Structures are given as structure tokens and as C-alpha cells.
Amino acid sequence: MLKAIKVLEKKICFKKYCIQQVVCINRNMQYKPYFYIIKHLPTQRYYAGCKYSSPDSNNFMTETGYQTSSKIIKQIIVDEGLNSFHIKKIKHFDTKEQVLIYEHKFLSKIDAKNNDMFFNRSNGESNFVNKGGYKLTKTTKRKMSKLKSRECIDKQNAEKRSRSKEVYEKAVNSRKCNGLPWHDEESRNKISSGNKKRWSNDENKEEHSKIMKEYYEVNPVSLKTREKISARVKGNGNPMYGKQHSEETKQKLKEAWKKRKNAKKNQSFSEDDLF
């Protein structure tokens, strides 16, 4: 009888030890950086992101916990509540760098910012990962984290435009004084062939498109500027005013549209692709 009791006590102690180990592992996982995917139930759209600063995955998408950094998602939560979202996936990592790299790879693979099934407006390109191993001072970190005001951005852009204008006018006046044309025939041909070579490369096109998108996200064109451009290209100001596309050009436009349409179709995927 005593032997049976001792055996039972050992089993109970062993079970308690196993439970403690599981709880300890869960606690360690709880506070690790994590990548997540959430689903908006009414629209069946997704949002993917990561959390590496003070991470606590147990409180993710709760009233008192982290609710993503997206302004779009936050507004939906205000309008519809947290119950309108469902957590599809949480994946933990050991370091901040690992989770940021994983997030960027995932978002780039599905092209989330151009994918109608996702709320994401970027593919994680702007995430800063310190690959050089150097340490930033507290002052530098504070400056980097502080958002620029609209006034500051406008001031910087005005300075850039004025500098560019001064340089251009100086070059023009210099050529005029020396009686030289702006570009001779040979220079124009060189510029033309260089541009043709540059823009025939698809990688260059994509890289330029990416840079311009990122620029206009930070520096959107004002309504006043849009109205000026619109007025300038109306009627006689439009390069195609009174003209028609040739059959060759129409065929090129048709093929380009087909490519864009097929690319959009290839972005579609099932929920199984997320896991």
C-alpha cells in the first residue's frame, strides 16, 4: 500500500514539473518579438505586421494590449470594434532583426501594398535594421523617431527647388554668354540612346517606380499643384490634342494592359498560402 502511495506521489510530482516547464516556455515565448496576420471578417481582407518593442503576444488585439500600428486598422476598430478582427497567425522570433526581415520577405512575396486582399500600404521597406553593428545615441534616436511636420517638409522642398532653379539658370546664362547652344545634335543623340537603354531594362523601371512611390507618400502633391497641372494640359496644352494614336501604339498599349491585368490575377491566393 505504501509503495503504491509513493509511486502515485512521484507521478503527481512529475506532472507538476511538466506543467511548470510548459508554463515557463509559454512565458518566454510570450515576450518574444512576433509576426502576426489578422483578418477583417466583414471584408475578408488581411493585415500583416510585427511587434518587437515590449512584445506581449497574449495581449495582442485586446482592449488593453497592442492593436497594430496601422491608422486604417485603428479606425476600423473604433468604428466596428475588436470583434470584427480575427487573429490568423502569430509567429515568434528571437530578435528584432529576425522579425523585421521575415515581415519584409512575406509582404514582398505577396506584394501586400498592391494586393487588394491586404490593408498594408507598404512592404516593410522603411523598417530600419542596423546591419553595421554601430550604436546610435539617444539624441539621434529621438530625432529619427520624431515625425517631420508639414511645414518642415514644405520648407525643405522649396529649398531644393530654388537650388535646382539657380543651378539651371546659371548653366543657361553661361552658354548664352559664350554663344553656345544648349545641346548640339551629337549630345542629343547620346542622351536619347542613354535613356532608351536605361528604360528598356525592367529592373530599372521597377526601381524608379518604387523610389517615386515612396517619395510621393512622404511628399504628396497638393490640391493647388494638381489644379495647375490640370489647367496646363487641357485643350491646346495637351500633347495629344487633335492627334490620334497609331495602330502600332494602340497595340503596345493593349499588350501593356494585358500584362498589368495578368500580374493582378497572379496576386490572388488562398488562406492556406498564409501558413
What angle separates helix 185-199 from helix 202-218, to the nearest 10 degrees? 90
Mean pLDDT, the chain, whole residue set:
78
Residue 26 has pLDDT above 60, yes or no: no
Which residues pair with residue 274 across a beta bridge? none
d(CA 86, CA 100) in angstroms, rounded, equals 22
The conformational region for residue 228 under phi > 0 = left, psi -120 to 50 = alpha, else beta, is alpha
pLDDT band at 71, cuts 50/70/90? confident
Place of cell 546664362: 173
pLDDT of residue 23: 42
pLDDT of residue 128: 46
pLDDT of residue 4: 56
Q: Which three cell numbers, joined as nine digits, stand for 207?
A: 526601381
pLDDT digits (tens, 9 = 90+) for 159-175: 777 776 777 777 777 77
How many Cα neighbours within 13 Å face the side chain of 118? 25
Q: Which three cell numbers, joined as nine digits, stand for 253?
A: 498599349
Residue type, 172: V
Instruction: Tell me if 89 sits within 8 A of 275, measured CB to CB.
Output: yes
- Phi/psi for 197 (5° steps) reads -65, -40
Q: Which three cell numbers, joined as nine digits, stand for 167?
A: 543651378
Q: What is the pTM of this model?
A: 0.41
d(CA 252, CA 80) in angstroms, rounded, equals 46
pLDDT digits (tens, 9 = 90+) for 89-141: 888 888 888 888 888 889 888 888 888 899 988 887 655 444 444 567 778 77
pLDDT digits (tens, 9 = 90+) for 251-263: 998 988 888 777 7
pLDDT of residue 135: 67
Instruction: Tell me if 76 sits within 8 A of 84, measured CB to CB.
Output: yes
Q: Which domains does the chain have, with CATH numbers?
A: 31-131 (3.40.1440)
Place of cell 542613354: 194
Residue type, 158: A
pLDDT of residue 37: 93
DSSP-derived 3-state class of residue 149: coil
